[in-house]
C-alpha cells in the first residue's frame, strides 16, 4: 500500500475519503469531534505540499435521500476552525455545482461534499457513481478506516479510477500498523478482553485470538450464554440459546490451546433493565429468576483488573456491562483503569473502537492508553483475518 508520505500533492486536487460520522445534538452541535481531529494530520500534509482537498464522508443513516439532520453542512463551522481557513461546501456531491467548485479549487483550499449516503449508489458500490466522484480529483486518499470494511463507492470502488495515484492517509496507516502490532508482534503476556451483548458478534475474533493470546477475559451480556452452557442459572439475563454448544466448544478450544479463558464469577444484578432498578450481587451461575445480570460483580472486577495489570499487550473490545447506565458502569470503569495502569507500567494497549472507545473517552482514560481505534467493525474484521475492501483497493 502506498502511503501518504510517498506522494507529493503539489498542484494536485486530493479526493479524500474521511470518516466524519460524528454525533450531533438536537441543535446540530458536535458532541465528540474525535473523528474530525483524527483526519487533520493527513489534510495538513496535502495542504502543506501545495495541494487542495476535496473531502468526502457520510453522516448517520439517512433513508431514501437527503435529510437536513444528516447534512454535512452542519460541520462546516467546526472544519473552518480546525483548518484555519474557509471550507467550501457542495450541496450536491456529484452535481454540476460540485464539479464547478472542484474545478475552481486552488492550492491550499478545501471543499466538503454533501453526505455521500444521500445517494443510494454509494452503499451499493455503484461504479458509475464512483466515476462521477473520481472526476473531481487527481489523486485518491482513503483515511476512513471506520468504513474500510465496506465496499462502497467512495471507500473502495473509486480507487479503481486512480491506478497510479491512490494512497492511504495517516489515520488508515496507523490503524493497520497498530492492529498488526497486536496480531503479529505482541509482547507477552497478551490479554484480550471481549465484552458486548452477543457471542455471535464475536465468534470469529474469539477463535482467531485463541491462537494468539495468553488470557481471554469475557464480560458483558455474552458471558451469560457461557454461564448457561456450563449449567448455571442466569435468571432473565441475556441468552443466545442457540449458541450454548458453541460456548462450550470455545471453552474446550481454550483448554486445548493453553489459553486462560476467564469468565465472570459474579454479577451485579437488577430486577429490571433500568438505572433505578433494585440492585444486588449474585454468583454468575446462581442468578435468581426475575433478575438479570447487567455488569460484572466486585469479585470479577478485581479478578479481571489483576490479570490486566500483569499483561504486556492488551486488546479490549466491548464493555463489561450496560455502562450507559451509571449504576452498571463500574465493571467497564475497572477494566479501563486497569488498562491505563498497565500502560503506565510499559504495556501496549489497543482499544477496539465502538463502545470501548466511547467508554475510555467518557471515563477520562483516553490519554492513558496506547491507541484507540476509530473503527469498531473494521478493526474486528481486520482482527478476524478478513481483507478490508478499503485497504485492499489501495494496493
The single residue of 354, 375, 376, 390 carrying the catalytic annotation is 354
Question: What is the three-class DSSP state of 266?
Answer: strand
The single residue of 12, 35, 45, 202 carrying the catalytic annotation is 35
Of the pLDDT bands very low, low, confident and very high (cuts 50, 70, 90), residue 257 is very high
Q: Are 157 and 126 in contact (CB under 8 A)?
A: yes
- Asked if residue 273 has pLDDT above 80, the reply is yes
Closest CA to 113 of 122, 345, 37: 122
Q: Are 185 and 156 in contact (CB under 8 A)?
A: no
Of 374 and 337, more confident: 337
The model's pLDDT over 61-120, given as tens digits with 9 standing for 90+, comes to 998 899 999 999 999 999 999 999 999 999 999 999 999 999 999 999 999 999 999 999
What is the average pLDDT score of the chain? 96
Furthest-apart CA pair in the chain: how many Å?
69
Catalytic residue at 124?
Answer: no
- Asked if residue 58 has pLDDT above 90, the reply is yes
pTM, two decimals, is: 0.90
The single residue of 198, 232, 253, 310 carrying the catalytic annotation is 198
The model's pLDDT over 151-210, given as tens digits with 9 standing for 90+, comes to 999 999 999 999 999 999 999 999 999 999 999 999 999 999 999 888 988 898 999 999
- Asked if residue 353 has pLDDT above 80, the reply is no
- Asked if residue 377 has pLDDT above 90, the reply is no
CA distances to 43, 72, 99, 103, 114 from 51, rounded to whole Å, are 10, 22, 17, 13, 21
Closest CA to 16 of 45, 381, 34, 28: 45
Catalytic residue at 198?
Answer: yes
Catalytic residue at 377?
Answer: yes
State the DSSP string of 341-352: HHHHTT-EEEE-
Closest CA to 194 of 58, 39, 33, 383: 383
Catalytic residue at 51?
Answer: no
Amino acid at each position: 500500500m502506498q502511503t501518504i508520505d510517498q506522494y507529493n500533492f503539489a498542484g494536485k486536487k486530493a479526493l479524500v475519503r474521511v470518516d466524519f460520522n460524528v454525533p450531533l445534538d438536537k441543535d446540530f452541535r458536535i458532541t465528540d469531534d474525535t473523528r474530525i481531529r483524527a483526519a487533520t494530520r493527513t489534510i495538513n500534509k496535502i495542504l502543506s505540499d501545495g495541494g487542495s482537498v476535496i473531502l468526502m464522508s457520510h453522516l448517520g443513516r439517512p433513508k431514501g435521500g437527503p435529510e437536513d439532520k444528516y447534512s454535512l453542512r452542519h460541520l462546516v463551522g467546526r472544519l473552518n476552525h480546525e483548518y484555519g481557513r474557509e471550507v467550501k461546501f457542495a450541496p450536491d456531491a456529484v452535481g454540476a455545482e460540485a464539479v464547478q467548485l472542484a474545478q475552481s479549487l486552488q492550492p491550499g483550499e478545501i471543499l466538503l461534499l454533501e453526505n455521500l449516503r444521500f445517494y443510494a449508489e454509494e452503499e451499493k458500490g455503484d461504479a458509475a457513481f464512483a466515476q462521477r466522484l473520481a472526476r473531481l480529483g487527481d489523486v485518491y486518499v482513503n483515511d476512513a478506516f471506520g468504513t474500510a470494511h465496506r465496499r462502497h463507492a467512495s471507500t473502495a470502488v473509486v480507487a479503481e479510477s486512480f491506478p497510479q495515484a491512490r494512497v492511504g492517509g495517516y489515520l488508515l496507516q496507523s490503524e493497520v500498523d497498530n492492529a498488526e502490532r497486536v496480531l503479529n508482534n505482541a509482547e507477552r503476556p497478551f490479554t484480550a478482553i471481549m465484552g458486548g451483548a452477543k457471542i455471535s458478534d464475536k465468534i470469529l475474533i474469539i477463535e482467531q485470538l485463541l491462537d494468539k493470546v495468553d488470557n481471554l477475559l469475557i464480560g458483558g451480556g455474552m458471558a451469560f450464554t457461557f454461564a448457561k452452557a456450563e449449567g448455571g442459572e442466569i435468571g432473565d439475563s441475556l441468552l443466545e440459546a442457540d449458541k450454548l454448544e458453541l460456548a462450550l466448544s470455545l471453552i474446550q478450544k481454550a483448554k486445548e490451546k493453553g489459553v486462560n479463558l476467564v469468565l465472570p464469577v459474579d454479577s451485579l444484578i437488577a430486577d429490571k433493565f433500568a438505572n433505578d432498578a433494585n440492585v444486588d450481587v449474585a454468583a454468575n451461575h446462581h442468578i435468581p429468576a426475575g433478575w438479570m445480570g447487567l455488569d460484572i460483580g466486585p469479585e470479577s472486577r478485581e479478578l479481571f483488573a489483576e490479570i490486566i495489570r500483569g499483561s504486556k499487550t492488551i486488546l479490549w473490545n466491548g464493555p463489561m456491562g450496560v455502562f450507559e447506565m451509571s449504576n452498571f458502569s463500574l465493571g467497564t470503569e475497572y477494566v479501563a483503569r486497569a488498562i491505563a495502569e498497565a500502560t503506565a507500567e510499559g504495556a501496549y494497549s489497543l482499544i477496539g473502537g465502538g463502545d470501548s472507545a466511547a467508554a475510555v473517552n467518557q471515563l477520562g482514560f483516553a490519554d492513558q492508553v496506547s491507541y484507540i481505534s476509530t473503527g469498531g467493525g473494521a478493526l474486528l474484521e481486520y482482527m478476524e483475518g478478513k481483507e478490508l475492501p478499503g485497504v485492499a483497493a489501495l494496493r
